[in-house]
Structure 1
Amino acid sequence: MTVSVQRTGPGPLSPDAVQHMVRMRDGVHLATDVYLPPGDVTPGPTILTRLPYDKCGEYTFMPRIAAYFTARGYRMVVQDVRGKFRSEGETLLFVNEAYDGYDTLEWVINQPWSDGVAGMWGDSYYGYTQWAAASTGHRALKAMVPRVTGTRLGELPVPVPGQRTHDVEMSVHRFYPLSMFHDRDILDWEIDWTRRPLAAQVEEFFTAVGSRSASYDLWFPHPVSLRRFPAGSPFDAPAVPVLMTIGWWDNCAPWQWSDHRELRRRPGWARNEYLLLEAIDHENTSHFSAGEPATVETMAARYLDPAIEFFDVFLRGRDTDIPRVRWQLANSGDPSLRAAAAWPLPEAYEMVWRPSGAEAAVRGVPGGTLAVAPDVASATAPEIASWTHDAADPVPSPVIDPFAFLREFPDERHLADRPDVLVFTAPAGAVPLDLAGPIRLDAVAGSDGPEMDLFARLLDVAPDGTARLIARGQQTIPHPGDAVAVTIDLGQTGYRLPAGHALRLTVASSDAPEFVPAPGTGEHRWLAAGTRPNRQRLDLAATRLTCTVLPS
């Protein structure tokens, strides 16, 4: 079969920057653009961004970002990471970012325009490169702003001894090394997720481009543990003031919330952590302008001003009080940032719902019921809801691009009509309900198959039936048997459920192709040539949905 590949190489150099080939400790040179404030020749603080998406390309619009920073007096340095675009070296995910970050910081502070003080800024992989540099403890790094990212970004799910569940494999886990980290360019191509084995299509891709991906080969079929932080965990390094920007609809948010929990366990880091919790997805589309693509012109202020305020304090010493937590309440009509001393808010409390109605749950909307549980500890007889998971006809992902979820922000009501989706709907509320904090589902599940995926979605159902996502979570259960206790983390949110709207919980065993569906045979998901249906079960009597809410 012919594989169509679109290759995107480096964009034209920015006339506003001077490119340098900066030497790393092993002799490899990395392409590095320097932007200086217009008319300012005195030394000053520098913002460093290291990314794999082309320092001159349209996707991340770095020249326009740099102009925003330099207009406010900062020098900005933007670098293609090793093996990408104009930089030399091997194209390999994660493993070179720590010491390359250190060496770049060392080069920066030895330039005549630097005052020896640096911060780092950026999203996703170029948020990860900040943590990599921080792990080295470089003396010049005084503040960083990692957005929609995580130290475990892109980490493949691996069973942990003693744990009954683990994360579900996202399609992007193995596809990212085949598109963004195959070689120096970006390679756009599509896998047919219905044609198995998936790995055979990867081999067709390698034949079409005439080369292999080292990152993919290290992770397939079983991942080699990549040494992301050779200098040691970033959390063991000296603490740096950090502004953690997390999106309510960011599909990578679980990794960043994991980092947040780790930071809270380290006193030095806990004292230096600040949270910016926004109603955005991974591509920075805002819930307050859902359906509209985010552009640098429309989002510059909300995208960059909090970082500049943060850098002004920690790089320039400006005497400004920055709240420990700033957060948005989505669907409230008010996009302003609310300040708090801690998250979750001290006044927040847990509210628990119990699903019931096993037979109605598989018959479409409204399905079974979702009622506030008066006594979460009460013992009741098992109530088993069952459905068939068939990887040959999986529950489809509701969006084409999960990284830009809010750009599509679909009405998901049609998914509830499938017989392989359990549906539970609460009564419409008489007053608004503000969700603000963690959400989880505790359940007892089982399957006649060798493994089981469990996907939970919490939806806002409007009076006209429109159903839109509030939060979601998922877990894989290896060797489930008849009954395994599982806790699904649905992440965290700040969301207002208006009066007259209802909460809906859906449970299924697939979300494809965003997540690679379990073939039902127990085989490797990329090697399985066929599929087998599995019968799944959920004990509703042992299932509880817990949301963190604010007093009305």
Structure 2
Amino acid sequence: MKKTIIILLLLIGFGATAQEFKTTDSLVIQLKSGNELTAIVTQNRALKMPLPAILRYSIYASIASDKFFNSVSCARGYVGVTVYVRGKYLSRQQADPFAHDAQDAWEVIDWVSKQPWCNGKVGMYGASYLGFSQWASVKSLHPALKTIVRQSAVGIGVDFPAHNNINLGYSLNWIHYTTDSRLLDNKTISEFSDQKKWNAVFNTLFTIGKSFASLDTLEGRPNGKFQEWLQHPAYDGYWEKLTPTPSEYAKLNIPILTIAGYFDVDQSGALDYLKKHYHNNKNTEHYLVLGPYDHLGLQNMAMSPTVGGYKLDSVAIFKIYKLTFDWFDYVLKGGQKPALLKNRINYEVMGANRWQHAPSLEKMDTKKQTSF
């Protein structure tokens, strides 16, 4: 496993051959509630002093890939930490997506910050669900959490499990993917990727004229979480309690970097968080990088040269991990702010092969046309 990680690090540009990483993958964090979470911690043996810790707070329990992501943090001079939400890996509870992450986050960050290998500073990053979990983590801001970097953040109640009041069919598939097993094993992954099966289920639903609420029964596994979500088609208190309130946004003064895409299914959620933060905290140091990227592309280590057959401009192709860790160096180590962040809003103009910069979303447009 160590050899595989070193090869991967070399492929993405880290000179890792001389580096030795120590990974502990079965640490159990006991919570005051009586529940427990599991942590994976990776350290660079050559760095003996306490270091800032980079935390990924995830529902996708995949030991091998999470060791790799931890090692990327180590290669940049940090301790890499992945913590799984309730019900994953060694946690004995039933997984309940989104429900308890805000409640548990403060204790997670407190535990990380007090370990002998941590210097008391914690940063967080990650995409999709891991983008949501960062916003859940700042509802009650722990003083050790100094920054978050969120890519393609799920806007719970905004763009998932419904978008513009239209229920998303894959939400049922996703529930099974994240809750049927404590780890993402081959069976769980293959079922999630079985488009032939799920397309057949959706086609049957459409042709027999049943309600969307019958989807889980039609699929053969009635699901309480799926039915619970359907009871909240609008953004109501059920969803609001999972992420910061206006008063919590107003007190959120740590530097934040958001990376989002024009073609991302979670773009509306990512921008919803940003807009709420801007609205409630006028002086926040919250930067946006927005470009022609989709959901999967934003989760890669580097941007793909094409998205859905569209060839990206050369300036739009960059290494996400490098921007992320350059940001961590800026906030956690007093380094230079990444050069791309010339203003709060930084966006690539498709076809023009250039980045533009604006102080707000409203100032992005330079021309307005009111008639045709």
Q: TM-score, normalised by structure 1?
A: 0.52
Offset of 1:147 from its aligned partner? 0.9
Residues 132 and 153 of structure 2 are in contact (CA less than 8 Å); yes or no, is this contact kept in structure 1?
yes
Is the Cα–Cα contact under 8 Å of residues 178 and 216 in structure 1 kept in the other structure? Answer: no
Correspondence for 1:177 among 155, 170, 175: 175
Report if the CA contact (8 A) 1:47-1:119 is conserved: yes
C-alpha contact (below 8 Å) 2:135/2:243 kept by paired residues: no
Letter in 2 for 1:170: L
Task: Tell me which residue corresponds to 1:26.
Answer: 33
The equivalent of 1:328 in structure 2 is 348
1:147 corresponding residue in structure 2: 151
Q: How far is 1:99 from its partner?
A: 2.2
In our comparison, the structure showing a higher alpha carbon Rg is 1
Shift of 1:278: 2.2
Shift of 1:200: 4.5
Letter in 2 for 1:271: T
The separation in 2 between residues aligned to 1:28 and 1:98, in whole angstroms, is 14
Corresponding residue of 1:106:
110
Tell me whether 1:247 sits opposite 2:247 in the alignment: no
Q: Is the 8 Å Cα contact of residues 39 and 83 (structure 2) preserved in structure 1? A: yes
Mapped partners of 1:92, 1:157: distance in 2: 18
Greater fraction of residues in strand? 1
Q: Number of residues paired by the alignment?
A: 320
Secondary structure, aligned partner of 1:351: coil
Deviating more after overlay: 106-115 vs 19-28: 19-28
Q: Check conservation: 2:72, 2:80, Cα contact below 8 A.
A: no
Aligned twin of 2:9: none
1:118 and 2:122 aligned: yes
Counterpart pick for 2:366 among 344, 348, 372: 348
Q: CA deviation at 1:317?
A: 2.0
Q: Could you tell me which residue of structure 1 aligns to residue 16 of structure 2?
A: none
Does residue 259 (structure 1) correspond to residue 263 (structure 2)? The answer is no
* Partner residue, 2:227: 217
Distance 2:265 2:365 in 1: 28
Q: In 2, are the aligned partners of 1:250 and 1:280 still within 8 Å (CA)?
A: yes
Structure 1 segment 87-106 matched on structure 2, within 5 A? 87-106=91-110
Partners of 2:28 and 2:317 lie apart in 1 by: 29
Q: 1:344 to 1:327 in 2, by over 3 A?
A: same
Query: Contact (CA 8 Å) 1:47, 1:76: kept in 2 or not?
Result: yes
Shift of 1:287: 6.8
Matched, 1:195 2:204: yes
Matched, 1:305 2:322: yes
Confirm or deny that 1:17 pairs with 2:23.
Answer: yes
- On the 8 A contact 2:304/2:317 being kept in 1, the answer is no
Change (3 A) 1:83 1:206: farther
Q: Partner of 1:273 in structure 2?
A: 286
CA–CA separation in structure 2 for the residues paired with 1:271 and 1:258: 15
Distance 2:260 2:331 in 1: 20
Change (3 A) 1:346 1:303: closer
Unaligned runs of 5+ in 1: 1-13, 159-165, 293-298, 353-371, 374-552
CA distance in 1, matches of 2:308, 2:260: 20
Contact 2:146 2:332 in 1 (8 A): yes
Change in Cα spacing, 1:71 to 1:119, as seen in structure 2 (3 Å) is same
For structure 2, the 5+ residue unaligned runs are 6-20, 310-315
Q: Distance in 1 between matches of 2:336 and 2:214?
A: 59
Choose the corresponding residue for 1:71, options 66, 69, 75. 75
Q: Call closer, same or farther: CA 1:193–1:291 in 2, change over 3 Å.
A: same
Q: Does the Cα contact within 8 Å between 1:54 and 1:85 map onto a contact in 2?
A: yes
CA deviation after TM superposition for structure 1 residue 221, in Å:
5.6
CA RMSD of aligned residues (A): 3.2
CA gap of 1:256–1:245, structure 2 versus 1, over 3 A, is same
How far does residue 120 in structure 1 lie from its aligned partner after superposition? 0.6
Alignment correspondent of 1:428: none
**Equivalent of 2:85, from 81, 88, 92?**
81
Letter of the structure 1 residue corresponding to residue 75 of structure 2: A
Which letter does structure 1 place at the counterpart of 2:23? A
Aligned partner of 2:14 in structure 1 is none
Change in CA separation of 1:313 and 1:71 when aligned onto 2, cut-off 3 Å: same
Cα distance 1:199–1:214, how it changes in 2: closer, same or farther (>3 A)?
A: closer
1:204: Cα distance to partner? Answer: 5.1
Counterpart contact for 1:51–1:80, Cα < 8 Å? yes
For the residue of structure 1 that corresponds to 2:103, the secondary structure is helix
Matched position secondary structure for 1:306: helix
Residues 177, 347 of structure 1: CA spacing in aligned structure 2 closer, same or farther, 3 A cutoff?
Answer: closer
Partner of 1:226: 238
Counterpart CA distance in 2 for 1:255 and 1:231 is: 12
Matches of 1:244 and 1:18, distance apart in 2: 30
Summarize deviations over 1:242-295 as a string: whole Å, max 9, x none. Answer: 101111100111111222221221235x42210111221000165742358xxx
Aligned letter for 2:238? L
Q: Does 2:46 align with 1:39?
A: yes
For the 8 Å contact 2:305–2:317, the answer to whether it is kept is no
Indicate conservation of the 8 Å contact 2:151/2:258, yes or no.
Answer: yes
Instruction: Determine if contact 1:80/1:86 at 8 Å carries over to the other structure.
Output: no
Residue 241 of structure 1, CA deviation: 1.1
